[in-house]
Structure 1
């Protein structure tokens, strides 16, 4: 067995810097808090939204993998996170808009320790940050949840996928699982402060493979296009 002991990636980071770092690793406290949060969210989704999941057998047996889906509500992340159990649930990170969820200390604490989100800074994510996300995905056997449209839809219609998803997956031997959410926009649209009860359906498609694509602009665009087509086909 090839066993290597290495220090935590976030060793030495100041608390505020650690919250917003792509190197952040989970401690016992954050794992316990996230377990409680996930249990509460799962119960809420069953009771208030009667969450119905189709295609669960298409999820890979274990990490690493990526879930991609259409995006029109904060319920989207909760619904996708709720289908991950065991090792996948413990290693799951939502990639969240840094300018929304990591803007203040309070929101950053919640995003980091309850949702286990990692920040993506719109229009200013650096190449080194993308490289770190790619490295951690494979080496730390993580699960990423992300929405390639880049922002929530205001009318429920799905927008084109941005090539940013391609920068994460092109050339990597990591399954990308397309998912389609229905009902989230009606239950909690972007212009509503709090959600209301309403049926949510989640369809999980067969994993996509982008290991053969070049990690360059052409490969990024092709990956984004393939992910978008796969999600649309689930509707």
Structure 2
């Protein structure tokens, strides 16, 4: 048998740098903490928000793939993570705003170990960092959770998707799974300190999209994002 061994992507980093690294690997402690967190979140969503999933069969059981959805609440990433099972759940990373989720040591620890988030710095992410995320997605068979609007909606209306999604998947066969979150804004709107129990939350998962023939250039990135945006909008129970 031929062995293909490579060092961990985060080998040699200091603990603080490792938390913010795009190459962070979970380790046994990270996997245990993340598993416990996902179970707790799933139980909370079911009990407090009557969390319901439609279209579960459209969700791949293993990576690589990218889940994209409308974004109006801090519950959004938790809901998408709660929908995952098995290898996909263990290899899932939410792409989160670095300045918000990795702004200090305490947030970095929570984001890295509980949510398994990877930082994306608004206005500071370089092409090389996106190339790293693209490579890891395919090579490590990861699942990314991404909100291509770039920020939470304050009104509930979905904003146009930014082209970053296309930079991750254009020219590959990696599935992009469109999702719609219904009720998340009512359950935990932007500006509220805590979620509001009793407000129902539904995740609707649509058929996966693939872009193997799309050029990996700016026009291709925009085409990917436009098609994914249209697919997400079609899932809305009350299309805008």
Fold in common (TM above 0.5): yes
1:69 matched to which residue of 2? 69
C-alpha displacement at 1:2, in angstroms?
Answer: 5.5
Instruction: Count how many residue pairs are aligned between Structure 1 and Structure 2.
Output: 235
TM-score (norm 1): 0.98
Which residue of the partner structure matches residue 90 of structure 2? 90
Q: 1:155 to 1:125 in 2, by over 3 A?
A: same
Equivalent pair of 2:61/2:87 in contact (CA under 8 Å): no
Structure 1 residue aligned with 2:128: 128
RMSD (Å) for aligned C-alpha atoms: 0.9
Displacement, 1:207?
0.3
Determine the C-alpha separation between the residues in 2 that align with 1:2 and 1:227: 39
Structure-2 change in CA distance of 1:13 and 1:226 (3 Å): same
- Cα pair 2:163 2:222 within 8 Å, conserved: yes
Question: What whole-Å deviation, never above 9, does each CA across 1:4-41 have from its counterpart, x for those lacking one?
Answer: 01110100011111111100001100111111101100
Distance in 1, matches of 2:69 and 2:2, equals 36
The 3-state SS of whatever aligns with 2:96 is strand
Q: Deviations over 1:149-181 (max 9, x none)?
A: 000000111111111111111112200000000
3-state SS of 2:17 partner = helix
1:212 paired residue number: 213
Q: Using structure 2 for the length normalisation, give the TM-score.
A: 0.96
Q: Any unmatched runs of 5+ in structure 2? A: none
1:84 and 1:2 map into 2 onto residues whose CA distance is 32
CA distance in 1, matches of 2:58, 2:39: 23
Report if aligned partners of 2:30, 2:113 keep a CA contact under 8 Å in 1: yes
In 2, Cα distance between the equivalents of 1:149 and 1:216? 20
Aligned residue number for residue 15 of structure 1: 15
Shift of 1:85: 0.6
Deviation readout 1:208-228 (Å, 9 max, x if unpaired): 001211110000100010010
**8 Å contact 2:61–2:86 — kept in the other structure?**
no
Distance in 1 of aligned mates of 2:210 and 2:45: 30
Larger displacement relative to structure 2 (1-10 or 68-77): 1-10
State how far apart, in whole Å, the 1-side matches of 2:213 and 2:98 are. Answer: 30
Q: For residue 139 of structure 1, what is the aligned residue in structure 2?
A: 139
Please report how far the alpha carbon of residue 95 of structure 1 lies from its aligned counterpart in structure 2 after TM superposition.
0.2
